[in-house]
Amino acid sequence: MTSTFPPGFRWGVATSAFQIEGATRSDGRGPSIWDTFATVPGAVAGGDTGEPAADHYHHWPRDLDLLTGLGVDSYRFSVSWPRIQPSGRGRVERRGIDFYRRVVEALRARGIEPFLTLYHWDLPQALEDEGGWRARDTAERFAEYAALVHDELGDVVDRWTTLNEPYPCAIAGYGEGRHAPGAREGHGALAAAHHLLLGHGLATRAMRARARPGHRFGIVLNQSPAVPVSPSAADIAAAARQDTLLRRQFTDPLFGGRYAPGLIAMFDGVSDFSFRRDGDLETIGQPLDYLGVNYYYRLHVADAPYREPDPARRTAADIGLDTTRLPDVPRTGMGWPVEPDGLTDALVGLRDEYPGLPPMYVTENGCVYPDLADERGMVADDQRIAFLREHVEAARAAVAAGVDLRGYFCWSLLDNFEWAHGYKHRFGLVHVDYATQRRTPRASYHWYRDHIAAHRTP
């Protein structure tokens, strides 16, 4: 096995607060939009909620033992905004801050670097009640929250990620209604996307103003390269619309100094884009130290009629295409096509398209396969090992192609609350029995441990 990853390449795992912590009412935590959404009948499979999740809030020392056992040098996790500010503004809950300080100090004591994400989808419900991400004010509130967490933990955390995946927040959350807060809007979802980016920019600016040497600031985007299902002009145009909505809506303002061309035309009659103000582009596009890429699958795009012919009633998710025509390749337990070279394409494509792009990390990559019913099957996840092996290889191919890739984080350490799918789908390297909170490392955990040991660089 030749080690072709650059010196200092990071090997880690990722989690997020709402998905693992549980304890949704402990120590003064306020409700988030996901607590509310999960109570809507039919919103989450099985009626599952943020309880108990992996009850990481109480079991975190054991979970850190699992990190040590894996041998990771880095751990990506998120801070729950409603633990820090139960109503999204004003009063700070000390017990929330203290929890994350304990975790971060324990990580450092174990020689594991914390990669902290400020927002992984758990908006305080009180802010949603005032418009949520549709409202410009939420971007300002996010910057305040970011600055206060940075003031509190800046002595023990160097890696600061503002947002995890603004695309699903805006489009699945405010456009398709599949994620919290469950809205199906056109203008509102596009406003949410803009205000998430604005919040990212304002937060980055606020934290940079107080940064210590060694602090690094970045954002995490989900990337699903959009490929047309045929060489027809209509399918090519449909794939371009998909790419504009999912990728360029975010990467052009962040790294290209402009709003994505074509976005306004795509939503003619849906939104007037009046949420854009002078100066926003400069705020959004200030320099970053890294870009995190979450990769799971490619999108295969065919032209299709709009579901809603009247633009005035169209949602931001209805852009006249069909992504259900998959190629004949294996699928994961989510039904997602397994295409490791899509990861290479995503990384190389970003590098080629945006001169001056900061270094990248793969900040999430992983899969679910149905667990077999018996005890052995619970942990014998050979398909996950194959998936991870192939995707790590695809990351290496991007490095070989000259991409400045600095690390790879597997999603996820633990089985957890998989959003609208509830607890049914298990992404963990470690199996969690939710009834007993027993943790059982899977075969993939042992594979990743051995992989890291073989590829650790100085």
Question: What does the chain come to in residues?
Answer: 458
Q: Which of 75, 81, 411, 447 binds ligand GBH (CB under 6 A)?
A: 411
Q: Are 348 and 403 in contact (CB under 8 A)?
A: yes
What is the total count of residues that contact ligand GBH (CB under 6 A)? 15
> Residue 448, interface with ligand GBH (CB under 6 A)?
no
Q: Are 161 and 409 in contact (CB under 8 A)?
A: no
> Residue 74, interface with ligand GBH (CB under 6 A)?
no
The tokens for 270 are 């849906």
Smallest gap from Cβ 336 to ligand GBH, in A, equals: 8
Q: Which of 135, 379, 420, 430 binds ligand GBH (CB under 6 A)?
A: 420
Question: Interface with ligand GBH by CB under 6 A: which range of 60-68, 125-133, 161-169, 447-455?
Answer: 161-169
Tell me, yes or no, if 393 is annotated catalytic: no
- How far apart are the C-alpha atoms of 87 and 96, rounded to whole Å? 13
- How far apart are the C-alpha atoms of 421 and 424, rounded to whole Å? 6
Q: Are 132 and 169 in contact (CB under 8 A)?
A: no
Contact flags string 5-24 toward ligand GBH, x per CB under 6 A: -----------x--x-----
Q: Which of 89, 178, 205, 389 binds ligand GBH (CB under 6 A)?
A: 178
- How far apart are the C-alpha atoms of 14 and 9, rounded to whole Å? 16
Tell me, yes or no, if 375 is annotated catalytic: no
Q: Give the other-Cβ count within 10 Å of 212's Cβ.
A: 9
Q: Are 442 and 430 in contact (CB under 8 A)?
A: yes
> Residue 172, interface with ligand GBH (CB under 6 A)?
yes
Q: Which of residues 180-199 bind ligand GBH (CB under 6 A)?
A: none
Contact flags string 116-145 toward ligand GBH, x per CB under 6 A: ------------------------------
For 170, residues 6+ apart whose C-beta sits below 8 A from its C-beta are 133, 189, 190, 192, 193, 196, 316
User: Could you give the C-alpha distances from 406 to 9, 289, 290, 349, 450, in angstroms and in order?
Assistant: 5, 11, 9, 17, 20
Q: Which residues are known binding-site members for substrate?
A: 19, 120, 164, 296, 411, 418-419
Q: Which residues are known binding-site members?
A: 19, 120, 164, 296, 411, 418-419
Task: Give the residues lining the site for ligand GBH (CB under 6 A).
Answer: 16, 19, 164-165, 168, 172, 178, 222, 294, 296, 364, 411, 418, 420, 427
Residues belonging to the active site: 165, 364
